[in-house]
C-alpha cells in the first residue's frame, strides 16, 4: 500500500474537521446575542481578548523567528531516505525549519479560531438560557466544538501533508516543536492573565466588599472573563494541540528508528511497505479518532442535552466506544491492503497488538479523567471535607486541600503504570507510544468539552451583568457547574496523556541518540541510565527540580500581578464610591491593562528556561545525562501537575458549594475561609498545574531537535565528565 493512500484517511478527516468547525461557527453566530447591555459586556470581553492575543502574537513572532533561524543552522539529525538508508546531513536544515514555522502558525491559528468563536458564543449562550437549558447548552457546546475540531483538523492536515511531501519523521518533528513552543507561551501567559484577574476580583470584591460572583461593579470582572478565553480556550487548546501532535510524532519517530534496526520485529526482514505502514499508523488512528469525535458530538446533539453534565460525559463515552470499533476496522483495512507476500502472520498480529495499545491508552485516559472528577466534584467526599474544614479557619482549608491534592496523585499514577505495563507487554516501547496516541485520539471531544467550560462561565457573568434575572442566572449556573466538572476531567486526561507522550519522546530520543552514536563511534551513547554514574545522577536530580522551579515562577508571577490588581480595585472603590452604588461604571480598561502587561512580561522567563536548561544539561553533562534529566522531570512533573490541578479544582468547588447555601452560605466566616482556599488554588489549577504538561513536552522535543548539536560536545559525552 502506497503511503499517500494510507495518509489520505487522516488528511480527509482533517479537512472534514475544519469544515465542521466552520459549520459550527455558523450555527453559533446566527443565534441572538441578547440585549444591548449583554452585547456591551461581551464587547468588552472580546476587545480585551483580541488586544491580549494581538500583543502576545507579536512577541511570539519574534520568539518563533529567532528559534527558526537557530534551527536552520543546527546540524541536521539523521535523515531518512525513501529506502531508509541513514545519512547525517551537513547542509542547512531548511526542511525542519519550515516544518517548525508551519507547526507554530498552525497552533496560533487553532488558538485564535477557538477564542474568536468563544467570545462570540458567551453572550449567545446566556441569551439561549432564556429559552431553555438545552438551548444554552447547545450554543456553548458547539462554540467549544469549534476549538476542539480546529485543533485536530490543523494537526492532521499539517502532519499528513508534511509527511507526504517529506517522508521523514525527524522533519515532521519540527512541526511538533513549533506547536509546543507556541503552546507554552499561550498556556503560561493565559494562565497568568486569568488568575491575576480572578484572584484580585475574589480578594477584594468577594472577601472585602461581599460582592456576588461576576458583579458588574467589580472592576476586575471583565478582565476575569477575558482570562477565561485567553487561558482556558486559547491556552488549553494550544496545550492539547501540542500534546496531540507530540504523541503522533514520537510514535512515528520510534517506528522509523526501530523498524530500521528490526528491533520491533525481532530481527525479521521488513518490506518497505510494512515500514511505511508502521510510521503512518499513528496518523491513521488519529484520523479514526477524529471520526469518532465527530460522531460523539452529533450524538449529543441528537440525544438532547437537558442535563449538561450527563450529556458531556455521554459524548466522551460514545466517542471512546466508536474509536475502539473504528480502529479495529481500519487496522483490518491496512492489513488487507498489504500484499500477502509482503507481510506474515507475526507482523499482522503485531499490528493488532498496536491497535489494542491505542485502545488501552484511551480507556486509561477516561479512568484518569474520572479520578480527577472524583477529587474535585462538590458532591464527593474530598470536596465536602474541604468545605467542612473551612469551619475551622483559613489555614485548615489550605491543609485539607493540599493533602487531598497529594492523595489524588496515587490513583492516576497506578493507572499510568498499568497502562504502560500492558502496552509494553503487547508492543514494547512502541506500544507505550501508541497508548499515548490512543489516549489523545478523541482529543476533538476532549477539547470541545474543555472549551465549553469558559464559554458557560462567561455566559453566567453576562447573564448577571445583563440583568436577565435570578431564574436565568440559575440556569446558567447549571451549565457552569457542568463546565467545572468537564474541565476537571479534561485536565486529568491532558496530564495523563502528556506523561505518556513524554515517555514516548524519551524512548525516541534514546533510540535516535544511540543511532547517531553507532554511526559516529560504533557504540551506544545511552546503553543504560546508570544512576551510579555521576553525570547521569546530576541530570536526573536537576530534572526533578525543574518542574518545581517552573511552578514557582508562574505562581509568583500570579502573586505579583494579583497584588497590583488588588491595589487597583481598592483604588477605584475608594476614589469613586459611585462605582459601588452602581451610579457609575468601573474602569475595566485599567484592570485589563494590568493583566495583559503583567502576564506577557512574566511569561518570558518560564518559556525560555524550558529550552535553555535541556540544552545546557546536554552540553555540560552529555546526552545520557539529558535523558536522565528528562526522566526526572517527567516523574516529578506528574506529581506536581496532578496535585495542583486537583487541589485547585476542589478548593474552587468547595467554595461554590458553600455559596449555594451550605454551612451558612455567602458572607460568613466559613465562606471567607473557602475564598482563601480558592485563591490559593487558582494559580495551582489554571496556571502552574496544566502548564507543566507543556513544559515536559517542550523540553523533550528540545532534546530531540538539538540532538545533532549536542553530539558535537565530546561525541555526546558532554564537556564535564566525572
Q: What is the pLDDT of residues 131-170, one digit of tens each?
A: 888 888 888 888 888 888 888 888 888 888 888 888 777 7
Task: Note the maximum CA span of the chain.
Answer: 84
H helices of 306-409, where? 308-337, 345-376, 381-389, 394-407
- State pTM to two decimals: 0.85
User: What is the rounded CA–CA span in Å between residue 432 and residue 507?
Assistant: 9
Does the pLDDT of residue 710 top 70, yes or no?
yes
pLDDT in tens, 50-88: 888 888 888 888 888 888 888 887 765 544 433 334 434
How many CA atoms does the CB half-sphere of 535 hold within 13 Å?
23
pLDDT at 91: 55
SS3 595: helix
Lowest mean pLDDT among 391-405, 434-448, 560-574: 434-448
pLDDT at 306: 65
Does the pLDDT of residue 541 top 90, yes or no?
yes
User: What is the rounded CA–CA span in Å between residue 483 and residue 497?
Assistant: 21
- Identify the residue with better confidence: 258 or 389: 389
Torsions phi, psi of 88, nearest 5? -105, 115
User: What is the rounded CA–CA span in Å between residue 442 and residue 316?
Assistant: 8
Mean pLDDT across 241-266: 70
- Identify the residue with better confidence: 619 or 586: 619
Report the range out of 391-405, 441-455, 643-657 with the highest average pLDDT.
391-405
Does the pLDDT of residue 173 top 60, yes or no?
yes
pLDDT at 259: 55
pLDDT at 357: 92
Does the pLDDT of residue 332 top 80, yes or no?
yes
User: What is the rounded CA–CA span in Å between residue 685 and residue 693?
Assistant: 12
Crossing angle of the two packed helices 689-705 and 623-659, in degrees rounded to 10: 160
Q: Which of 159, 149, 124, 160 is nearest to 139 (CA)?
A: 124
User: What is the rounded CA–CA span in Å between residue 25 and residue 149?
Assistant: 11
pLDDT at 484: 67
Contact between 496 and 489 under an 8 Å Cβ cutoff? The reply is no
Q: Which of 442, 152, 156 is nearest to 289 (CA)?
A: 442
SS3 199: helix
What is the pLDDT confidence band of residue 356, given thresholds at 50, 70 and 90?
Answer: very high
Does the pLDDT of residue 264 top 70, yes or no?
no
User: What is the rounded CA–CA span in Å between residue 417 and residue 414?
Assistant: 5
What is the pLDDT confidence band of residue 395, given thresholds at 50, 70 and 90?
Answer: very high
pLDDT at 247: 81
User: What is the rounded CA–CA span in Å between residue 233 and residue 122?
Assistant: 12
Give me the residue label for grid cell 506577557.
600
Q: Which of 296, 286, 301 is nearest to 318 (CA)?
A: 296
Mean pLDDT across 529-539: 85
Does the pLDDT of residue 238 top 80, yes or no?
no
SS3 671: helix
pLDDT at 4: 52
Dig out the grid coordinates for 610 from the structure: 524550558
Mean pLDDT across 456-471: 83
SS3 606: helix
Q: Which of 497, 214, 493, 486 is nearest to 377 (CA)?
A: 486
H helices of 408-532, where? 410-439, 443-465, 470-521
pLDDT at 81: 38
pLDDT at 263: 52
Give me the residue label for grid cell 501533508.
161
What is the pLDDT confidence band of residue 273, given thresholds at 50, 70 and 90?
Answer: low
pLDDT at 693: 82
pLDDT mean across residues, the chain? 82
What is the pLDDT confidence band of residue 267, given thresholds at 50, 70 and 90?
Answer: very low
Does the pLDDT of residue 585 top 60, yes or no?
yes
Mean pLDDT across 313-329: 86
Contacts for 356 with CB less than 8 Å, ≥ 6 apart: 426
Contact between 41 and 222 under an 8 Å Cβ cutoff? The reply is yes
How many CA atoms does the CB half-sphere of 78 hold within 13 Å?
23
> C-alpha angle 98/102/105, rounded to 5°?
135
At CB < 8 A and 24+ separation, what contacts does 296-299 make? 296/322, 296/442, 296/445, 297/141, 297/145, 297/148, 297/444, 297/445, 297/448
Q: How far is CA 674 from CA 390, 506, 558, in A?
A: 6, 41, 19
Lowest mean pLDDT among 93-97, 528-532, 586-590, 646-650: 528-532
Dig out the grid coordinates for 21 from the structure: 468547525
What torsion do the CA atoms of 219, 222, 228, 231 make, to the nearest 10 degrees? -80
Q: How far is CA 186 from CA 50, 59, 247, 683, 690, in A?
A: 14, 11, 19, 15, 12
Does the pLDDT of residue 123 top 80, yes or no?
yes
Mean pLDDT across 17-32: 89
pLDDT at 82: 39
Amino acid at each position: 500500500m502506497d503511503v499517500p493512500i494510507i495518509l489520505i484517511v487522516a488528511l480527509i478527516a482533517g479537512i472534514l474537521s475544519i469544515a465542521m468547525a466552520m459549520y459550527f461557527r455558523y450555527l453559533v453566530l446566527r443565534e441572538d446575542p441578547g440585549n444591548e447591555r449583554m452585547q456591551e459586556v461581551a464587547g468588552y470581553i472580546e476587545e480585551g481578548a483580541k488586544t491580549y492575543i494581538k500583543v502576545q502574537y507579536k512577541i511570539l513572532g519574534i520568539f518563533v523567528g529567532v528559534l527558526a533561524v537557530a534551527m536552520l543552522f543546527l546540524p541536521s539529525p539523521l535523515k531518512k531516505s525513501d529506502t531508509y538508508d541513514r545519512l547525517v546531513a551537513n547542509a542547512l536544515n531548511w526542511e525542519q525549519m519550515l516544518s517548525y514555522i508551519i507547526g507554530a502558525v498552525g497552533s496560533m491559528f487553532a488558538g485564535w479560531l477557538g477564542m474568536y468563536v468563544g467570545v462570540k458564543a458567551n453572550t449567545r449562550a446566556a441569551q439561549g438560557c432564556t429559552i431553555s437549558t438545552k438551548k444554552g447548552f447547545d450554543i456553548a457546546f458547539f462554540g467549544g466544538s469549534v476549538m476542539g475540531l480546529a485543533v485536530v483538523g490543523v494537526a492532521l492536515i499539517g502532519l499528513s501533508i508534511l509527511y507526504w511531501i517529506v517522508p521523514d519523521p525527524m522533519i515532521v518533528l519540527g512541526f511538533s516543536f513549533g506547536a509546543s513552543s507556541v503552546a507554552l507561551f499561550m498556556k503560561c501567559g493565559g494562565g497568568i492573565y486569568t488568575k491575576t484577574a480572578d484572584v484580585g476580583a475574589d480578594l477584594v470584591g468577594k472577601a472585602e466588599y461581599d460582592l456576588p460572583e461576576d458583579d458588574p461593579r467589580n472592576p476586575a470582572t471583565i478582565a476575569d472573563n477575558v482570562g477565561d478565553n485567553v487561558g482556558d480556550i486559547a491556552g488549553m487548546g494550544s496545550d492539547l494541540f501540542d500534546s496531540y501532535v507530540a504523541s503522533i510524532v514520537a510514535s512515528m519517530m520510534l517506528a522509523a528508528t526501530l523498524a530500521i534496526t528490526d528491533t520491533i520485529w525481532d530481527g525479521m526482514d521488513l518490506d518497505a511497505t510494512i515500514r511505511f505502514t508502521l510510521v503512518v499508523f499513528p496518523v491513521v488512528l488519529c484520523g479514526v479518532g477524529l471520526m469518532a469525535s465527530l460522531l460523539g458530538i452529533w450524538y449529543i446533539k441528537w440525544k438532547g442535552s437537558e442535563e449538561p453534565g450527563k450529556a458531556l460525559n455521554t459524548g466522551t463515552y460514545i466517542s471512546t466506544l466508536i474509536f475502539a470499533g473504528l480502529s479495529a476496522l481500519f487496522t483490518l483495512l491496512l492489513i488487507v491492503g498489504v500484499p500477502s507476500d509482503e507481510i506474515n502472520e507475526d507482523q499482522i498480529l503485531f499490528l493488532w497488538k498496536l491497535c489494542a495499545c491505542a485502545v488501552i491508552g484511551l480507556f486509561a485516559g477516561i479512568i484518569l479523567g474520572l479520578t480527577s472528577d472524583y477529587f474535585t466534584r462538590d458532591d464527593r467526599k474530598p470536596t465536602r471535607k474541604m468545605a467542612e474544614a473551612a469551619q475551622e479557619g483559613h489555614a485548615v482549608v489550605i491543609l485539607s486541600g493540599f493533602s487531598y491534592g497529594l492523595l489524588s496523585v496515587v490513583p492516576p499514577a497506578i493507572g499510568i503504570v498499568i497502562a504502560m505495563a500492558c502496552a509494553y507487554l503487547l508492543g514494547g516501547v512502541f506500544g507505550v507510544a501508541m497508548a499515548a496516541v490512543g489516549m489523545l485520539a478523541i482529543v476533538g471531544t476532549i477539547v470541545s468539552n474543555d472549551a465549553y467550560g469558559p464559554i458557560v462561565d462567561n455566559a453566567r457573568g453576562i447573564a448577571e451583568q445583563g440583568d436577565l434575572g435570578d431564574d436565568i442566572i440559575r440556569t446558567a449556573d447549571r451549565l457552569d457547574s457542568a463546565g467545572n466538572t468537564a474541565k476537571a476531567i479534561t485536565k486529568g486526561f491532558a496530564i495523563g496523556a502528556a506523561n505518556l507522550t513524554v515517555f514516548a519522546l524519551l524512548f525516541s530520543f534514546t533510540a535516535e541518540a544511540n543511532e547517531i552514536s553507532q554511526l559516529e563511534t560504533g557504540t551506544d551513547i545511552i546503553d543504560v541510565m546508570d544512576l551510579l554514574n555521576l553525570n547521569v545522577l546530576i541530570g536526573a536530580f536537576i530534572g526533578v527540580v525543574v518542574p518545581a522551579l517552573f511552578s514557582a515562577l508562574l505562581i509568583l508571577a500570579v502573586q505579583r500581578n494579583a497584588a497590583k490588581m488588588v491595589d487597583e480595585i481598592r483604588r477605584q472603590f475608594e476614589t469613586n464610591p459611585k462605582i459601588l452604588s452602581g451610579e457609575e461604571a468601573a474602569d475595566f480598561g485599567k484592570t485589563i491593562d494590568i493583566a495583559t502587561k503583567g502576564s506577557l512580561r512574566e511569561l518570558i522567563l518560564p518559556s525560555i528556561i524550558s529550552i535553555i536548561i535541556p540544552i545546557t544539561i546536554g552540553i555540560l553533562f552529555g546526552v545520557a545525562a539529558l535523558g536522565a534529566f528528562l526522566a526526572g522531570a517527567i516523574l516529578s512533573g506528574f506529581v506536581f501537575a496532578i496535585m495542583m490541578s486537583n487541589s485547585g479544582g476542589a478548593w474552587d468547588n468547595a467554595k461554590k458549594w458553600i455559596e449555594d447555601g451550605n454551612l451558612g452560605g455567602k458572607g460568613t466566616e466559613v465562606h471567607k475561609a473557602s475564598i482563601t482556599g480558592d485563591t490559593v488554588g487558582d494559580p495551582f489549577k489554571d496556571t502552574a498545574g496544566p502548564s507543566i504538561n507543556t513544559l515536559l513536552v517542550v523540553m523533550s522535543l528540545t532534546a530531540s531537535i538539538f540532538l545533532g548539536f549536542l553530539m558535537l560536545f565530546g561525541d555526546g559525552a558532554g564537556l564535564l565528565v566525572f
